[in-house]
Amino acid sequence: MPKKRSLTKKLLTWYRANKRSMPWRDHPDPYAVWVSEIMLQQTRVETVVPYFERWMMRFTTIGKLAAASQQDVLNLWEGLGYYSRARNLHKAAQVVVDEHQGALPADLSALQKLPGVGRYTAGAIASLGFGLDAPVVDGNIKRVLARIFNVEEAVDTTVGEKRIWALAEEYLPGGEAKDYNQALMELGATICTPRNPKCETCPVNTICEANKLDLQGERPVTKPKAEVPHYTVAAAVIQKRGRVLLAQRPADGLLGGMWEYPGGKQEDGESLPVCLRREIREELGVKIKVGEELGLYRHAYSHFRVTLHAFLCELKVGKPKAIEAQAIKWVWLKDLGDYPMGKLDRMISETIVAKR
DNA sequence: CAAGCGTGGCA
DNA sequence: TTGCCAAGCTT
């Protein structure tokens, strides 16, 4: 086993000489650390930077965030994905105002009680925001520690996770958690990468067990992943006097709270127009006439792929009432930007505008 | 505790 | 084109 002192010293020295500049790193305060950590969940630094800048400009304090509408919050988050993060951040801000006088608590277990804050994020706010001695484990750290210590258990199982957290805690240098945690993550992001790690320039290559055994490619061990299903989906662009009908998705689940063109999944053996008429009847309670196809869009989500066919439609019978959807609204084309949508619906919007 | 939850970059 | 993965959390 590597010696603690020698490992942590090498990592800290390397980090202080090589850390990248980031907006939340250059002026750290607990609120900025919190927002950045939520945005960075499963998301790359370069993607987050512009969202973070806009967010901190618009919601300068936790109080301002708490007082905002969910619509404004989702709008700033649009395009970033995993929208429950935005809804939870908003909710948590209200908890912080109501129960912690508007300031984040400098306490690991109190932090972890906030919606959207798990063990990693609580540790990150505690160490990076408050300078406390708390360990963190993210995807980078799992990989880095699994290689340095040649961990043979799969890191995405309960047993493997426990082992990694124990290593993170055991090797945490007292008083240096802030830089040490970031050093491990920075090493994972820039040197100890999933593919083609740059072991030649790694500051701990003489200590790393996987490097010594030439097992970098075999670590970390993970369990096999499930196949992703493929769905065919139909969406209706229902127009009326220059406006289109948007429906708001239910608050939870996929794209929760976002606006979309109504429609849904094609069932076995069903034609697309039939699918669309059925979905619109169930979702809005009206009948439509299906017209020409506006476009075909392919998109990959985390756990499935879709091919979406969008059709220009007309209302035939009845006035749309929200049944499956939370709410519906006729929206001028120029106002589409005010409504937070997922990628696919945004693509359809662009096609509509381009075709006019 | 396995499954659900977005999007973009890269090989 | 497809699969993999990226500063995870919730149910």
Q: Which fold is adopted by the domain A4-218?
A: Endonuclease III; domain 1 (1.10.340)
Q: In this structure, what token pair is assigned to residue A64?
A: 């301002």
CA separation for the pair A39, A33 (Å, rounded): 10
Taking the domains of chain A in order of start, what are their residue ranges?
4-218, 230-355
Q: A82 beta carbon < 7 A from strand B?
A: yes
Helix A30-40 and helix A84-99: axis angle, to 10°?
160
Q: Is A49 exposed, middle or buried (0-12, 13-18, 19+ CB in 10 A)?
A: middle
Measured in degrees and rounded to the nearest 5, phi and psi for residue A222 equal -135, 160
C-alpha torsion angle, residues A162, A163, A166, A168 (rounded to 10): -110
pLDDT tens digits, A261-309: 999 999 988 999 999 999 999 999 999 999 999 999 999 998 899 999 9
* Residue entry with tokens 């969940």: A41
pLDDT tens digits, A308-331: 999 999 998 888 998 988 999 999
**Facing residues of A238 across strands?**
A313
Q: A117 beta carbon < 7 A from strand C?
A: yes
Nearest nucleotide over every DNA/RNA strand to the A228 CA, judged by C1': C3
Q: H or E element: which one contains A243?
A: strand A243-248
Residue A151 DSSP class: -
pLDDT tens digits, A43-81: 999 999 999 999 999 999 999 999 999 999 999 999 999
Whether residue A258 contacts residue A249, with contact meaning beta carbons closer than 8 Å, is answered with yes
Check whether A42 has a pLDDT greater than 80.
yes
Q: A18 beta carbon < 7 A from strand C?
A: no
Nearest nucleotide over every DNA/RNA strand to the A224 CA, judged by C1': C4
Q: A182 beta carbon < 7 A from strand C?
A: yes
Q: A251 beta carbon < 7 A from strand C?
A: no
Residue A214 DSSP class: T
Query: Å between A302 CA and B8 C1'?
Result: 12
Using a 7 Å cut-off to protein CB atoms, list the covered nucleotides of chain B.
1-9, 11
CA separation for the pair A62, A303 (Å, rounded): 33
Q: pLDDT at position A226, please?
A: 83
Whether residue A86 contacts residue A78, with contact meaning beta carbons closer than 8 Å, is answered with no
Q: A181 beta carbon < 7 A from strand C?
A: no
List the one residue out of A339, A343, A309, A354 whose CA is nearest residue A245.
A339
Query: Å between A84 CA and C10 C1'?
Result: 9
Q: In this structure, what token pair is assigned to residue A9?
A: 């010293």
Q: pLDDT at position A215, please?
A: 93
Check whether A2 has a pLDDT greater than 90.
no
Nearest nucleotide over every DNA/RNA strand to the A196 CA, judged by C1': B11
DSSP characters for A277-329?
HHHHHHHHS-EEEEEEEEEEEEEE-SS-EEEEEEEEEEEEES----SSSSEEE
Using a 7 Å cut-off to protein CB atoms, list the covered nucleotides of chain C.
1, 3-10
Nearest nucleotide over every DNA/RNA strand to the A158 CA, judged by C1': B1
Whether residue A93 contacts residue A62, with contact meaning beta carbons closer than 8 Å, is answered with yes
pLDDT tens digits, A161-190: 999 999 999 999 999 999 999 999 999 999
Nearest protein residue to the C1' atom of C7, measured from CA:
A40
Measured in degrees and rounded to the nearest 5, phi and psi for residue A252 equal -110, 170
Residues near A76 by beta carbon (within 8 Å), at least 6 away in sequence? A51, A54, A55, A58, A59, A86
A230-355: CATH class: alpha beta
Q: Is A16 exposed, middle or buried (0-12, 13-18, 19+ CB in 10 A)?
A: exposed
Query: Å between A68 CA and B1 C1'?
Result: 35
Whether residue A124 contacts residue A181, with contact meaning beta carbons closer than 8 Å, is answered with yes
Query: Å between A84 CA and B5 C1'?
Result: 8
Check whether A356 has a pLDDT greater than 80.
no
Q: A51 beta carbon < 7 A from strand B?
A: no
Check whether A108 has a pLDDT greater than 90.
yes
